[in-house]
Structure 1
């Protein structure tokens, strides 16, 4: 994969303390600037900003994807396979409750990928995925 510019994503949370515990402690994302209303995190080189806006947090609807009920509104990262495996093990060891357990999706097809879904403590859905062959990211 080529070097890509970092993305920026702002999203609502019900509690900055819960966001700090999840993104900062569990996922290991260093904290950047903050105020009483928001906090920046370095999300693997990308800037995500948790904004205190409990009225904006709502459950995501789902769509069926390869037999899984995938939360429609979600964000996440494409990691290397070793990094994905290490994250999956760290999340399991922490007792994480997955929306979709770590597994291989589209097995034997173009785009075969390792994937897992979880919710942050405020109800935002995240997906982490990896490809054995990174060129499969946009495979048809």
Structure 2
């Protein structure tokens, strides 16, 4: 399965996903671009005129819904967080340690791409807790 997001401007998507996130671009057309997202095919599709704006409370933060999430290794998470900060990225939720000392403890951060798609990147110190109740 290839996850996909809708974008309203492919040039802005190329700058954000290619330059800010540092993803390698794959095949593309006038209406879509494939990306290498940590070894997974990720597709941005052009579809102007969409909207966002719903949130759910989680651990004292307003988490954007819907959002696309990716689990990284802890060092990769911190490397990406540093890259995003250096690029001047405005976070919806700044990188922080969620559920500290509890089941499911994880580093997490949320941001929006230029089309308003919410992205979550997270990292677990213990990957066995990814789906723990």
The alignment's TM-score, normalised by the length of structure 1, stands at: 0.91
> Which portions of structure 1, spanning 4 or more consecutive aligned residues, are displaced by more than 3 angstroms?
none
Alignment of 1:13 with 2:12, yes or no, is: no
Structure 1 unmatched runs, 5+? 1-6
2:62 equivalent in structure 1: 69
CA distance in 1 between partners of 2:70 and 2:46 (Å): 23
CA RMSD of aligned residues (A): 1.0
SS of 2:92's equivalent in the other structure is: strand
Out of 68, 72, 79, the position equivalent to 1:79 is 72
Q: What pairs with 1:78-97 in structure 2 (closer than 5 Å)?
A: 78-97=71-90
SS of 2:12's equivalent in the other structure is: helix
Structure 2 unmatched runs, 5+? none
Offset, 1:13: 0.5
Offset, 1:29: 1.1
SS of 2:3's equivalent in the other structure is: strand
CA distance in 2 between partners of 1:135 and 1:60 (Å): 32
2:20 equivalent in structure 1: 26
1:40 equivalent in structure 2: 34
SS of 1:110's equivalent in the other structure is: coil
2:51 equivalent in structure 1: 58
SS of 2:104's equivalent in the other structure is: coil
Out of 104, 121, 124, the position equivalent to 1:128 is 121
The alignment's TM-score, normalised by the length of structure 2, stands at: 0.95
CA distance in 1 between partners of 2:32 and 2:53 (Å): 22
